[in-house]
Structure 1
Amino acid sequence: MKKLIAACAAAIALAAPALAQVKVGVIIGTTGPAAGLGIPYKNTFAILPKTLGGQPVDYIIRDDASDPTNAVKFARDLVVGDKVDLLIGAGTVSSSLAIADVAAQLKTPQIAMAPVGAEISKNPWMFASVQPAPLMMAAVAADMKAHGIKTAGFIGFSDSWGDTVLNGLKAHADANGVKIVTDQRYGRLDTSVVGQVLKVLASNPDAVVLGGSGTPGVLPLMTLRERGYRGRIYQNHGMVNREFMRVGSKAWDGVVAPAGPVVVAEQLADGAPTKKTAMEFAKLYDQVYGPGTRNSTSAYSYDTYLIADRAVAEAMKKAKPGTPEFRQAVRDALESSKEVVGTHGVYNMTATDHAGVDQRAVVLLRAENGDWKLVK
């Protein structure tokens, strides 16, 4: 009898599909200037399911200290040394673009958690879970037109993120009758932007658009308020985080910003396509980190997981983790992602669109008393 039981157990074990671990390298800046973004990114990975595409998953997380040079080193180490099947990151545009070169060279799929812009179409191995800046800034330009705004000033980072926000605005400004009258920049580590703000005020714009992110993105807002600016102020989707609002306090009141719908999930109409997923994520995140703590950034990690989960499940039908064939299969599956309903939007990737979101991924918000209100 014992031999019969043992034989049956062996037969069942042989018949059951073997589970193979999927390795994912995650590169985010949990220290440095972008830590305000990186920490929420990391928080979400701690509460994700322990499987990806039905297989056990190992998330190997590295802190690039908000430095693209570190991001490149970690990306190479993760692919060559740890033999990851997928790279996720980074949380900033500059580090994401730096990683992309490694992903392309080593033929490893990458999902950037930053709006990497036009560069995404040049690299078949890079995808993104964050809305492209032109899509988000279209909502800003439309709001300007609705409020009779004819001129706008810009203050943003003197790096790729500042360029990304400004170029997104430029793509829609003319069509909405808006002229950009000044372009002022500052560094992520700068402690003052008085000079830039004075130049903006001298141009007397009807509105000012800010192109920063993380805690340093609050600096020009506070300086504009201190110098008495009374026009409309727009932030970008890299600033929609209650932690950043606490830094600026009352300076935020009246600020308008584009965002993914997850930020105001409770305020969405019941028929909104992302509401169910957004509410599920909000419940999951808030149970662990406290009521109202979820934000755009943490939700991007969740959407990245949803996209990767679908792609890995498809790739498992063609190859085994840990092989070049599997990495290729994941890449191909990402590119054919269809109707993946996330918290920020509904993802439909194609060979020419590796972000895959549309107007369903955008809402316009207004800051009031330390919280965000949906602009209807």
Structure 2
Amino acid sequence: MSHIFLIKKIGLVFWMGMLLALTSIAMAPARGDVLIGVIMSSTGPSAIWGYQYGLKDWPKTIGGEKITLIQYNDQGDPGKAAIQAERLVTQYKVDALVSNASSPGERLAIDGVARENNVAHLVIGAVISIDSGSTITSNAPQSPPDAVFEHMKSHAIRRIGFLGYSDAWGDLWLKELQNAEGKYGLQLSAVERFARGSASVDIPAGTFVNAEIDALLIAATGASAVTAQRMLRQRGYNGPIYHTHGSATDDVVNIPAQDFANTIFPATPDIISRILAKYTLPFQPGPNAPSAGKMLEQLLPSILQKEQPGSISFRKALREASEVASAKSSHKKRTWSLVTFDSGAWALAQ
């Protein structure tokens, strides 16, 4: 009896294994699909930008092939980003990687995986350009900080104070501001840094109250940027304040309007349309996610005529095409506007 029971048990295990295998095959995307691995910061410090919302208008099919997105949340952590990129490339065999890359660390981590596997990496986040030493990354149209510096120059602002994160985001903006000194006639007069997510007491806002500056640039995002600004106002700094990407959010709407008088925020065209329509900002939709989708719409049809999704040759062709498209778009002038939140309502900055 024990032998019969063992045989039955082995048979049951075999058929259960077959059922699981068939289920896995049924759930896996068809290999005719074009698989795109998406790494977003849907939680964590960069979640305020709402990049995932920018994917909702992506095409469902291109060139007769279904577009399947496999999404991960790296929480803004470069280590998680690298692990997730590796999993997407090796386990799911994605044809391209897309990320918001809210920090240089994230971008470089994903670039490393893309480079090793010859896969395109499309960056859709509002990240200042960096020299990564890689030809893998293809930027969807980015939003440079020039509009901020041009506004400063047109308003006769010369001496600038800088209050920014003590991480790569702060480093990038500080470098851009230093590079802008000669081009826009600016002078960096005071610099303070603070840790991302630090308590308000740790923000050295008092430095700028008595500093001889014409305006201040806050290189922070979301609630941290709001906290820094409120402390500045409460401690007596009443001069103009400029912000960087990711600060024009509901965190501003929900505090006293006087704390954000005489303040300038960068905003993308889709944000502008929301401001003019509703005077509120429910989220900052990933500024370049739609552009990345359109880039794929332009590139994939001709590649699909020659190569099969999932093949090494398909990956290589898509990577090379995205690099060419990115290089061309980098020479086009981008639309980038500034907004204010005076008198309790959003409006275009003058």
Query: TM-score, length-normalised on structure 2?
Result: 0.81
> Does the Cα contact within 8 Å between 2:40 and 2:99 map onto a contact in 1?
yes
The corresponding residue for 1:286 is none
Aligned CA distance change for structure 1 residues 266 and 293 (closer, same or farther; 3 Å): closer
> Does the Cα contact within 8 Å between 2:194 and 2:203 map onto a contact in 1?
no
Superposed CA offset, 1:208-266 (max 9, x none): 001112332222111111112111100112323x3232354422333112332222237
Q: Secondary structure at the match of 1:42?
A: helix
Q: Secondary structure at the match of 1:203?
A: coil
5+ residue gaps in structure 2?
Answer: 1-29
Tell me the amino acid that sits aligned with residue 33 of structure 1: P
The corresponding residue for 2:252 is 245
Shift of 1:59: 0.6
Q: 1:46 & 1:267 partners in 2: Cα distance?
A: 20
Q: How does 1:117-132 map to 2 (within 5 A)?
A: 117-119=128-130, 122-129=133-140, 131-132=142-143
The corresponding residue for 2:125 is 114
5+ residue gaps in structure 1?
Answer: 1-17, 269-281, 283-289, 338-348
Superposed CA offset, 1:155-212 (max 9, x none): 1111111112222222222332221112211122211255521223343321100111
**Residue 184 of structure 1, aligned match among 189, 192, 203:** 192
The corresponding residue for 1:276 is none
Tell me the amino acid that sits aligned with residue 131 of structure 1: Q
Aligned CA distance change for structure 1 residues 107 and 221 (closer, same or farther; 3 Å): same
Query: Are residues 1:300 and 2:288 paired?
Result: yes
> Does the Cα contact within 8 Å between 2:266 and 2:339 map onto a contact in 1?
yes
Q: 1:44 & 1:121 partners in 2: Cα distance?
A: 25
The corresponding residue for 2:40 is 28
The corresponding residue for 1:45 is 55
> Does the Cα contact within 8 Å between 2:158 and 2:185 map onto a contact in 1?
yes
Q: 1:325 & 1:192 partners in 2: Cα distance?
A: 52
**Residue 356 of structure 1, aligned match among 312, 320, 330:** 330
Query: TM-score, length-normalised on structure 1?
Result: 0.76
Tell me the amino acid that sits aligned with residue 148 of structure 1: A
Q: 1:260 & 1:68 partners in 2: Cα distance?
A: 26
- Choose 173-182 or 225-234, whichever is displaced more: 173-182
Q: How does 1:322-337 map to 2 (within 5 A)?
A: 322-337=310-325
Q: 1:19 & 1:322 partners in 2: Cα distance?
A: 6
Shift of 1:131: 2.1
Aligned CA distance change for structure 1 residues 296 and 267 (closer, same or farther; 3 Å): closer
Q: 2:102 & 2:71 partners in 1: Cα distance?
A: 15
**Residue 109 of structure 2, aligned match among 82, 92, 98:** 98
Q: 1:157 & 1:335 partners in 2: Cα distance?
A: 31
Q: Secondary structure at the match of 1:71?
A: helix
Tell me the amino acid that sits aligned with residue 323 of structure 1: S
User: Which 4+ runs in 1 deviate beyond 6 A?
Assistant: none
> Does the Cα contact within 8 Å between 1:209 and 1:233 map onto a contact in 2?
yes
Q: 2:210 & 2:262 partners in 1: Cα distance?
A: 22
Q: Secondary structure at the match of 1:171?
A: helix
Q: Provide the aligned C-alpha RMSD in A.
A: 2.8
Aligned CA distance change for structure 1 residues 369 and 331 (closer, same or farther; 3 Å): farther
Q: Sequence identity of aligned pairs in percent? A: 28
Q: Secondary structure at the match of 1:103?
A: helix
Q: 1:151 & 1:186 partners in 2: Cα distance?
A: 21
Tell me the amino acid that sits aligned with residue 310 of structure 2: G
The corresponding residue for 1:55 is 65
Q: 2:82 & 2:111 partners in 1: Cα distance?
A: 9
Q: Secondary structure at the match of 2:334?
A: helix
Q: 1:369 & 1:106 partners in 2: Cα distance?
A: 52
Tell me the amino acid that sits aligned with residue 75 of structure 2: A
The corresponding residue for 1:74 is 84
Greater RCO, CA 8 A, separation 6+: 2
> Does the Cα contact within 8 Å between 1:27 and 1:62 map onto a contact in 2?
yes
Aligned CA distance change for structure 1 residues 210 and 358 (closer, same or farther; 3 Å): farther
